[in-house]
A = this chain, B = another copy of it.
Amino acid sequence: MPKSTFLNLEDSKRKLITDAFLREFAIKSFDDASITEVVKQLGIAKGSVYQYFDDKLDLFMYLIGECTAIKIRYTEAVKREQFSDYWAYFRELFEHGYRFDAENPLQSHFLHNLTQNLKSPSVKQLYDQLLQQVITAFEQMVIREVELGLFRNDIPTKTMGFLLYKVGTSVQEQLEATGAINPRESIHNNLPVYEGKKAILMETVDHYINMSRKAFDKESNQS
């Protein structure tokens, strides 16, 4: 948790500092992100950072909290109950994710890089913890669909949940690997991750959904 010193800061200065660190952590891993570098850019003393935060991890957790809080504001409106079909729900999450990205480029870049970021040995514990949460969340979704009789029940929910999780992350990874998006470049130009790429994003999502339907849905497998 940031110290009160940080919270009492003028909004503009707090934002300036937050953004600078978001930018740094959006392109480097936790261990490679350099506080020394950022304070140089900001033109403030390194000691100030330690008036605001306990340590590097405290700062990092603050950034995670801020960004996820904003993203949740975009996705919390989307409820499974509003859709008869899991995949329509899945698709809508990407639609709202796109809006989050367009309106909060820096935070979106930060979250995009979070997985890479967490690979640093110093934050292995945090990584494992978050990974467990995500995996569990996806398994819960699968369990619900199985109970609704919409997903097949001849495969362990753990395995289905994990694949579903991988499908979710694969969209972004594929677009990055094929060069359709270029986070490195777009963050440099202060652009959202998916700037002008909505069509290809949703098209890819649809292709993944098209394949996943067959893999997960019940009717395809036990009609």
Show the binding face of A for B, using Cβ within 8 Å.
Answer: 28-29, 31-32, 116, 119, 121, 131-132, 135, 154-156, 158-160, 162-163, 166-167, 170, 173-174, 177-178, 204, 207-208, 210-212, 214-216, 220-221
Contacts and interface: CB of A to CB of B under 8 A. Distances in A.
Q: Dominant SS at the A interface? A: helix
Given A131-B177, A220-B220, A221-B214, A207 B155 contact: yes
24 contacts: A28-B121, A29-B119, A29-B121, A31-B32, A119-B119, A131-B177, A132-B177, A135-B178, A158-B174, A159-B174, A159-B204, A159-B207, A159-B211, A162-B174, A162-B178, A163-B167, A163-B211, A166-B170, A166-B173, A211-B216, A212-B215, A214-B220, A215-B215, A220-B220
Contact of A160 (B31, B178, B211): B211
Given A116-B119, A119-B116, A220-B220, A177 B155 contact: no
